[in-house]
Amino acid sequence: MKTLALILTLAATPLLAQGVPGQHFVENWDLNGDGAVSLEEATERRGDVFTSFDQNEDGALDAEEYVVFDEARALDMQNEGAGHGGGNMQNAAEGMELAMNDVDGDGKVTREEFISQAAVWIANMDLNEDGVITTEDFAMRRQMMGGQGKGKAKN
Ligand SMILES: [Ca+2]
Ligand SMILES: [Ca+2]
Ligand SMILES: [Ca+2]
């Protein structure tokens, strides 16, 4: 019975696609089409994103390359209608920023740094804490709970 309900839910999704917060994001990042973005998928896609913005192919995104990257994300936010998408599109965008990914603080983001932040990125967006990103996470508001997130690494 549970399975049937799940199938019906999935089948109904395309009809609701318009105007669902996060739908565009999930479609972009859900590689196997199960409606959820896993850490594996996020890691792989971040690798792709990195490759597309590392214009001089030196294995790092510097400030100049980040200008282009920032503009692309701003455009993406507009397309997503971030205004009413809640805070999670903001989380998604912030998780791409230079400051968020420059782990060693040398002013540029290497591929390793960028990919290593996938887990943090997912954790920031995973508001219902099921370990994957779905439109449900975009429909939720982050609850202020002490000690949430940090120190609860799932591997
Ligand atoms: Ca998936
Ligand atoms: Ca760095
Ligand atoms: Ca989730």
In the chain, domain spans: 20-139
Q: Output the CA 37–ligand 3 centroid distance in Å.
A: 8
Band of pLDDT at residue 14, cut at 50, 70 and 90: very low
Q: Output the CA 63–ligand 1 centroid distance in Å.
A: 31
- Rounded Cα distance between 103 and 118, Å, is 12
Asked if residue 30 has pLDDT above 50, the reply is: yes
Band of pLDDT at residue 147, cut at 50, 70 and 90: very low
Asked if residue 144 has pLDDT above 60, the reply is: no
CB 110 within 8 A of CB 60: yes
Q: Is this prediction's pTM over 0.85?
A: no
Taking a 5 Å cut-off on Cβ, the residues next to ion ligand 1 are 30, 32, 34, 36, 41
Q: Give the number of the ligand closest to the Cα of residue 34.
A: 1
Q: Give the number of the ligand closest to the Cα of residue 37.
A: 1
Band of pLDDT at residue 106, cut at 50, 70 and 90: very high
Band of pLDDT at residue 97, cut at 50, 70 and 90: very high
Q: Output the CA 32–ligand 3 centroid distance in Å.
A: 16
